[in-house]
Amino acid sequence: MLPNFPKQVSDDNPPVNRNVQVDDRLYDYLIQHSVNEPEVLEALRRETAQYHMARMALSPEVGQFLGLLIAMQNPKKVLEVGVFTGYSTLSMGLRLAPDATLVALDKKQMWLDIANKYIAQAHLIDQIETRCCDAKATMEAMLQDQAGTLDFIFVDADKANLMAYYDMGKQLLRPGGCMVIDNTLWWGNVADPEFDDKDTRIVRALNDHVHQDEEVLSSLLPIGDGLTIVHKR
Ligand SMILES: C[S@@+](CC[C@H](N)C(=O)[O-])C[C@H]1O[C@@H](n2cnc3c(N)ncnc32)[C@H](O)[C@@H]1O
């Protein structure tokens, strides 16, 4: 059992911001030195770019990082909440061990049709099952017989159900399992008092909740749109 540490940084000893600012030149360098994008993912990204919602997809450096987490964690049962055209699905799928499976949920068949095409090209149809469904209802059903059995969950769907995805995801994970949540910096709006819309309030509430949650160890990383990594104790 990991020891509990204080959850707050003390006000009289504030850390200095040493995060490097990533401008376009540094971003190009980062891409050149971080990303090894398989051809099938490059092709998927090219097709996805034709849709005006293309920015919903993970960027390559985040896909690379997600694949690395899968390779390091070596999960056997993976759940994805929010597939879109499948960039994150394949970023994980391509790093799965041969005996591992991934169930990927999205409510729009149109997006899953595109994802399935590339899953087939990557010869991963035996390992990746896409399901057209409401993710919340499906996770509720999974809790009936799969609580405490999943090794890895990636959450990247609607914000309205974000807290439910986190709470149910935690119940579905085995102790030692990992959950990754995308968009937790929400375009920077979480720290900007000018923004008080519903989705921003939900992401702030989720971040507060995860940070205070004694049942997990977590870290919010400034990569992409903010990525929270959660380890269930
Ligand atoms: C940000 S996109 C996912 C991007 C994806 N992870 C990628 O890397 O390309 C969010 C997806 O969640 C799906 N979605 C939204 N609400 C949902 C729900 N209630 N149940 C299932 N899927 C949902 C949307 O259809 C959309 O494809």
Q: Read off the pLDDT of residues 12-66 as tens digits, 9 standing for 90 and up.
A: 899 999 999 999 999 999 999 999 999 999 999 999 999 999 999 999 999 999 9
Neighbouring-strand partners of residue 173: 150
How much distance in Å is there from the Cα of 26 to the middle of ligand 1?
Answer: 29
For residue 11, name the pLDDT band (cuts at 50, 70, 90): confident
Above 80 in pLDDT, residue 6? no
CA distance 63 to 56: 13
Alpha carbons 60 and 165: distance in angstroms, whole number: 24
- CA dist 48 and 114 (Å) reads 9
Cβ < 6 A, ligand 1 pocket: 56-58, 82-85, 87-88, 105-108, 111, 134-136, 156-158, 161
224 in a domain, yes or no? Answer: yes
Q: What is the mean pLDDT of the chain?
A: 96
Task: Report if residue 7 sits inside a domain.
Answer: no
Task: Please check whether residue 93 lies inside any domain of the structure.
Answer: yes
- For residue 229, the CA-to-ligand 1 centroid distance in Å is 19
CATH of the domain at 107: 3.40.50.150
The tokens describing 3, both together, are 């020891």
Place of tokens 């959450």: 155
Domain encompassing residue 166: 39-232
Outline where 54-161 has alpha helix (H): 60-73, 87-93, 109-121, 135-146
- Which residue, judged by its Cα, is nearest atom 26 of ligand 1? 84
Question: Is the torsion defined by CA of 38, 89, 83, 122 positive or negative?
Answer: positive
Q: Among 162, 227, 155, which residue's Cα sits nearest to residue 199? A: 162
| 33 within domain boundaries | no
**pLDDT of 1 over the 90 cut:** no
* pTM listed for this prediction: 0.97
Residue range 203-231: mean pLDDT, rounded: 97
Ligand 1 midpoint to CA 149 (Å):
23
Q: How many other C-beta atoms lie within 10 A of the C-beta of residue 125? A: 12
Cβ 217 vs Cβ 4: under 8 Å: no
pLDDT for 110-131, tens place per residue?
999 999 999 999 999 999 999 9
203 pLDDT higher than 90? yes
Q: For residue 11, report the distance from its CA to the centre of ligand 1, in Å.
A: 38
- What are the backbone angles phi and psi of residue 155, rounded to the nearest 5°? -115, 120
Give the closest residue (by CA) to ligand 1 atom 16: 158
- Structurally, the chain folds into a number of domains equal to 1
Give domain status of residue 201, yes or no. yes
In a domain, 171, yes or no: yes
